[in-house]
Structure 1
């Protein structure tokens, strides 16, 4: 699956690698849902970061250039980088 297909899947809300979605992790009022993007036998760091609920919910699709060999390790790195991004940007992540 190419990067464009992976991006399309993130924006459509589908699990990128057709595996079950990961459980959301709460961090500082934000929800981080890891979604590794399978790419050529490796996994690209990707997640959905949300804040709020219903009509007030804001969504940011978090994708990085990192490619990781192991899906589990990719999830760990994704969560670490997403938390760092939330800590650095807060609500500015949405726009």
Structure 2
């Protein structure tokens, strides 16, 4: 009974956050792929996603979640893409260190 109560309060993961069900097309920037993956959080959308780059046969991935929240999923996805482009411009391949 307590388990059901906690699941209803915090979601099945126990963290109160769920990933977006929508699929945003990856955005290419300077040879990197930017994939926006906003997360639902308390009725708003948290800026989250990943940056990928193909390195030979290996795909290098950098995941990130920001504290920023937006009222809509699209706004959170757009903000993630903006921040990811800035991060790529500033750090390049050092993102993966």
Q: Which residue of 1 is the match for residue 32 of structure 2?
A: 30
Choose the corresponding residue for 1:77, options 73, 76, 79. Answer: 79
Out of 56, 62, 65, the position equivalent to 1:63 is 65
Q: Which has the higher helix share?
A: 1
Listed one character per residue, the Cα deviations across residues 58-94 of structure 1 (whole Å, up to 9, x for unaligned) are: 0000211101111111111111001001111100000
Asked if structure 1 preserves the Cα contact closer than 8 Å seen for 2:16 and 2:42, the reply is no
| 1:21 positional shift | 2.1
Unaligned runs of 5+ in 1: 10-15
TM superposition outliers: structure 1 runs of 4+ over 3 Å: 1-6
Normalised by the size of structure 1, how large is the TM-score?
0.79
State the match for 2:5 in structure 1. Answer: none
Within 5 Å, give how 1:1-12 maps onto structure 2: 1=11, 4=15, 6=17
Tell me the residue number matched to 1:87: 89
Cα distance in structure 1, aligned partners of 2:52 and 2:14: 22
Q: Any unmatched runs of 5+ in structure 2?
A: 1-10
Contact 1:25 1:32 in 2 (8 A): yes
TM-score scaled by length of structure 2: 0.78
Larger strand proportion, structure 1 or 2? 2
